[in-house]
Homo-oligomer: A and B are copies of this chain.
Amino acid sequence: MEHKVEGTLLIIGGAEDKDGKCEILKRFIDLAGGEKAYVVVLTTATQEPETAGREYYEIFHGLGAGIVEVLDLDSRKKANHLFTERLMEKATGIFFTGGDQLRITAALGGTTADDALKKAYRRGAVIAGTSAGASVMSNTMIVEGDSSQAPKLNTIKMAPGLGLLKEVVIDQHFAQRGRTGRLLSAVAHNPYILGVGIDEDTAILVYPDARLEIIGSQTVTFLEGRHMAFSNVSEHSPGQALAVGNMILHVLPKGFGFDLNTRKPTRFQEEKGENNENHRNQAH
């Protein structure tokens, strides 16, 4: 068994429903323990931490969370504070808001909060993130890349992420911002990495057995580069258009899943209730 995933992740493509059925956020609270949940909201990514913090505080309470703490880790000093570490130790769910992914990694990377986050993840706390908070989940994250132009060799910028999910690169607001080109470019840089483009109000729920479930109203795009026939990413000609041959693409909505071990789409039963034991048992 490979250890691509060590806990449960909820990775949201941004703009999740916050005043309707709240399918995705409700799932987060349920997975975190419902009325027994101890949720920590990290507003590090955003430049408006008070607004974002207050919003999620109210939503999570409204969805039945037991305890909700909002933590604005806007400095490495705060991220190394004993108080932060203690809070992370108690958490059953940790939620990263949107904003700028580099704010998260720059403030948290290598701090005691980062360690505590990974410990929480391994002991079973659900780690969730939306938008920028989704991008940081993987080893390598996309930080910049022009969406509206054809993919060019030099327009995509990547940086190390938090590394909770391996061999994957996440992009968010995917269909809404026309980001196929930049995800394609990211995968072409290392075809071993699976590209995962998550639409708005859509999420992947990654289980410890490396199977994932798609939830929400839109779709998730998977770009598989391992069978890529050729690309021109190693040719350094600034502004040159990208060439890739034989990339495999899957577009999947709710009701489908994906197995990160076999790298194949799967059907996912739409179950009532929150019992996901069934899926875990199907893993190999």
Query: Is A43 an interface position by the 8 A CB rule?
Result: no
Residues of B within 8 A of A175 (CB): 148-151, 178, 180-181
Stretch at the interface among A51-59, A76-84, A239-247: A239-247
Q: Given A175-B178, A177-B178, A178-B175, A247 and B245 touching (CB < 8 A)?
A: no
| Interface mask (A203-246 → B, CB under 8 Å = 1, otherwise 0) | 00000000000000111000100000110100000001111111
Chain copies in complex: 2
- A159 lies within 8 A of chain B by Cβ: no
Which residues in B have their C-beta under 8 angstroms from that of A202?
A: 150
Q: How far is the CA of A148 from the CA of B184 in the complex (A)?
A: 18
- Nearest CB to that of A200 among chain B residues? B150
Q: Give the residues in chain B near A254, CB-CB below 8 Å.
A: 241
CB distance from A171 to the nearest CB of B (A): 13
- Neighbour of A241 across the interface among B219, B248, B250, CB < 8 A: B219
Q: Does A176 contact B (CB under 8 A)?
A: yes
A169 to B223, CA, bound (A): 22
Q: Are B249 and A249 in contact (CB under 8 A)?
A: yes
Contacts of A243 in B (CB 8 A): 219, 251-253, 255-256
Does A139 sit at the interface, judged by CB under 8 A? no
A246:B242 contact, CB within 8 angstroms: no
| Inter-chain contact A246/B245, CB cutoff 8 Å | no
A265 to B232 CA separation, bound complex (whole angstroms): 14
Bound Cα distance from A250 to B243, whole angstroms: 8
Given A245-B265, A265-B245 in contact, is the A178-B147 Cβ separation under 8 Å?
yes
Partner of A180 from B178, B218, B245, B252 at Cβ < 8 Å: B178
> Which residue of B has the minimal Cβ distance to A181?
B175
Contact of A251 among B147, B184, B253 (CB under 8 A): B184
Residue of B nearest to A253 (CB): B241
Which residue of the partner chain, among B151, B244, B248, contacts A247 with CB atoms under 8 Å? B248
Bound: A24/B163 CA distance, A: 45
Q: A199 at interface (Cβ–Cβ under 8 A)?
A: yes
Besides A150-B199, A244-B250, A248-B248, 19 other A-B contacts (C-beta < 8 A): A148-B176, A148-B178, A149-B175, A149-B218, A150-B202, A151-B251, A175-B178, A175-B180, A178-B179, A180-B180, A184-B251, A217-B241, A218-B241, A240-B253, A241-B254, A244-B249, A244-B251, A245-B250, A246-B249
**28 intermolecular pairs with C-beta atoms under 8 Å apart:** A147-B178, A149-B176, A149-B218, A150-B199, A150-B253, A151-B175, A151-B219, A175-B178, A178-B179, A178-B180, A217-B241, A219-B241, A219-B242, A223-B249, A229-B265, A241-B253, A242-B253, A243-B251, A243-B255, A243-B256, A244-B249, A244-B250, A244-B251, A246-B248, A246-B250, A247-B249, A247-B251, A248-B249
